Structure 1
Amino acid sequence: MPVRPLSELIPFGGSGAVQPPRAKYRFAEGSLWVSFAPFLGVQLRLSSWPDGLELYRQDLEGWVREEMDPQVLNVASVERLPGYHPVRRFAADIPEWARQSARRYVSWQLTVLRLLRHCPAARDLARGAPTLLWLFASAVDRRDVSMPRASHLLEHRRVEVLRWCAGEQASASTLRFLQKFVASYSRGELELLQRALSEPEVVAWFRHEPEVRVGDLRRVVLTPRLRRFRFFREAVAQGEERPELVTELPLVVRDVRRLGAALGRRDVSAVLDRCRTVANLRQLHDRWSDLVNLAAAERRLPDYVERYGSHEFPRAPLPGTESIVPVATVDELAAEGRELRHCVLAHAPAIFEGRAYVYRVLAPERATLEVAIQGSALTLAQLRGARNAKVSEETQEAVLRWLAG
């Protein structure tokens, strides 16, 4: 029977097994035994620091060498255990300097400790490039690299170590980017960092930033179409205080492109490039929106009246309230578009034909609501604030309560 990989036997991500494993400390050899036998049919044996922190597992095939980090060791947690606990006794053999170096890492602590034990160059990384050491440890674990092989790899220059971890696109600039990364060293951060390192454009975006914060990096990685614009840098800088900015910007940019097309502009991208701030972008949007709405009103209002025979819409499918008011005429619909700077006037045919209805939302915040009509069923089609911005959860919930009757 082939030996199953540990990754199949221990399906957890650093937080513990399916149920708490049992641990024993063997005084004679200074090793730690961790049993998952009742749940997964496997037992681990970790040798002491003097013996190299070698990891073995025992299953139906007997004892086998294991390179994968089972994520069962956390220095900070171990230090809170009572002195008689087997894991605390085992950790006592690990030098204080090694424990201090490893405790910053939420994940791959055992691999880091093994690297510190076997590879002198790893100790230099722990002092001068801790994020690179963490990245290297995760790659060593993922690729089942032996400690002798890892020690050989760490003898190379740091940029070459980084290329081994992240790919040939890594450069000295990538290494400087990594040095600025402010990490708590969780698994989620590793996935984000690996994605960023695979995109030179992301690395270049942070070239002149003093530090790379996780939240900022996530916004830049997840919003590739905005990276080129100068106003995006302002939005990222304000991301912690105003997270809605980055969420709204793609909608505003899309709206500006659509408005530019409606105005026959061929220089929309160049105009967007000249917007230095979010305020500049919104001013551009409002200016073009006013022009489009004015032109649309002049062109469409007479057409709608001629086609449908009236300025007045059919009766609203639901009566309004003090804060949710039906838009009764095509003129009111045009005014709503001008006030909130969007193109709701284009929905007039759907209202005249009984497929939808539009309401002015006055509270908890100003917004425009479109209700879809299918027979007797009414559903929320769109709910947007000024410039098509997303509304708050409070507003969304208030509208849904009203719609539910």
Structure 2
Amino acid sequence: MSPELKIFKTETSVTLRFDFTEAIDSVVSIEIKARSFEVQIQAYGVQEDALDAGFPLYSNDGTSFFSNNNLSNFENVYCPPTPKIFLFSYLQTAFIKVCTESSRGIQMLESNPCLLWLMLDYSIKYSLDRVQLHSWLGMKRKKIINKIVGMNFDGDEKFLTKIDPLTGESNELNLIMRMVTNPQIVSAYAHWSRIPIQVLYVAERYPALHGAQYLLDWCSSNYDRMSSYLPGSSALNKLTEDTIRVGKELNIKNSRSLVVACQTVDQLNKLHDSWVESLNNSRRYYDPDIEFDRPDIQQCEGVKWISSANSLVSEGVVMGHCIATYVDKARLGKSIIYSVFYPERATLEITNRNGVFNIVEIKKEKNKEVSEETVNYVRDWLNQENKKRRSFFTKS
């Protein structure tokens, strides 16, 4: 629910009083003067000064959440005239307060807003007073980073200047904190001009995607939550790893650099297909052949287990994809590979983890997507096998 908002004006100040008592015992008062911005929170009988109100005053289009008036339009009231404040919903009041009271605050907001964000969060967690906070604004930027994260890496200040928040919520701030303490991440984006926060969010889950240019293309959709960019990213990560592996099989120097330099996902797919074709054309059969250990699972009609390295090479040639590079994974039992003939021709990779069989990937020729019917057919078979195994171990 929205709080009850009351506005009190005098000749020298405007006070906004946000009353949350219908939901919780809390009232937040914000007094805005010519060169100060005071926040007080009254909760459960205790009143104290605060740096942040705990909620944003502006939406990302610059309009107020709680009134039709923009706070900067109040007479005799100074507010920093920068749209960058609207990028941050978490600690937004603290941004306004520090920028209202210090020109250095405005300078940092304009030049490195994410560093200011980290600094404000640190000041609240460690109860820095107003004097200490303003003292920090006069420090060298690298020294500020060193105090906040406890370490310093070359390029981390520039790294922070490039990050574009999505909605400016606290989970984005926590992600930035994790990223700036990782020298590999900082190095991977050294030559980027801007880094959307959702790119870091996806890349954090899949190290193979660190610095991949096509993530800009992948994350170009206009969503309002970072998690909205995750669907499909697992397949993108697998495509990346497969392409790098094929490049290494072809003895292409710096294959990873060539992969992550692709500007779009379409370019990555074309590079993958081109390398796979070259690999399959040059592929030699093993002499002698390498036999794989038979998996502990019943055969399924229309699905044939690939039992050797040369059979795997033949599957890759026939299907026009990179399954031939999975010889070592199949030999070590990390992957079990099948030729699928029903309901359609495809190649299937499954794993056995702790006695449970799961689909890793199933693709038609040249990595085209299979039908839902095919996925369900294979999934039903694996579910039956898993059920039989659970029943056997339960009885034992």
Pairwise TM-score range, normalised by the shorter structure:
0.5 to 0.7
Q: Which runs of 5+ in 2 are unaligned?
A: 221-231, 260-270, 382-396
Q: 2:49 aligns with which of 65, 70, 89?
A: 65
1:238-286 Cα distance to aligned partner (Å, 9 max, x none): 64589644343335667999xx8xxxxxxx9x97745653448954994
Q: Output the amino acid matched with 1:212.
A: I
Partner of 1:400: 376
Q: Taking every aligned residue pair, what percent have the same amino acid on both sides?
A: 12
Partner of 2:258: 277
Partner of 1:182: 164
Counting only pairs closer than 5 Å after superposition, residues 253-402 of structure 1 correspond to structure 2 as 273=254, 276-278=257-259, 279=271, 282-283=275-276, 286=279, 290-291=283-284, 294-295=285-286, 298-300=289-291, 317-318=300-301, 325-327=302-304, 335-336=314-315, 339-340=318-319, 341-342=323-324, 358=338, 360=340, 366-368=346-348, 381-385=359-363, 392=369, 395=371, 398-400=374-376
Partner of 2:63: 79
Counting only pairs closer than 5 Å after superposition, residues 90-169 of structure 1 correspond to structure 2 as 92=74, 94-95=77-78, 97-98=80-81, 100-169=83-152
2-side partners of 1:194 and 1:168: how far apart?
A: 12
- TM-score for both structures, normalised by structure 2: 0.65
2-side partners of 1:80 and 1:212: how far apart?
A: 28
Question: Which structure: greater helix fraction?
Answer: 1
Partner of 1:8: none
Q: Cα gap change, 1:219/1:361 in structure 2, threshold over 3 Å: closer, same or farther?
A: farther
Q: Which runs of 5+ in 1 are unaligned?
A: 1-18, 261-267, 305-312, 319-324, 351-355, 373-377
2-side partners of 1:369 and 1:287: how far apart?
A: 19
The alpha-carbon deviation at position 388 of structure 1 amounts to 12
2-side partners of 1:276 and 1:89: how far apart?
A: 49
2-side partners of 1:248 and 1:364: how far apart?
A: 22
Partner of 1:46: 30
The alpha-carbon deviation at position 80 of structure 1 amounts to 5.6
- TM-score for both structures, normalised by structure 1: 0.63
Partner of 2:40: 56
Q: Cα gap change, 1:102/1:274 in structure 2, threshold over 3 Å: closer, same or farther?
A: closer
1:187-237 Cα distance to aligned partner (Å, 9 max, x none): 24323322221012221222223333334434544333675xxxx746556
Q: Which moved more, 1:111-120 or 1:94-103?
A: 94-103
Q: 2:174 aligns with which of 164, 169, 191?
A: 191
Q: Cα gap change, 1:58/1:192 in structure 2, threshold over 3 Å: closer, same or farther?
A: closer
Tell me, yes or no, if structure 1 residue 248 matches structure 2 residue 222. Answer: no
Q: Which has the larger radius of gyration?
A: 1
The alpha-carbon deviation at position 157 of structure 1 amounts to 2.0
Partner of 2:384: none
1:25-72 Cα distance to aligned partner (Å, 9 max, x none): 223563111122222212111112337221112233332222344124
- Three-state SS of the structure 1 residue aligned to 2:93 is helix
The alpha-carbon deviation at position 363 of structure 1 amounts to 7.6
Counting only pairs closer than 5 Å after superposition, residues 19-38 of structure 1 correspond to structure 2 as 19-28=1-10, 30-38=14-22
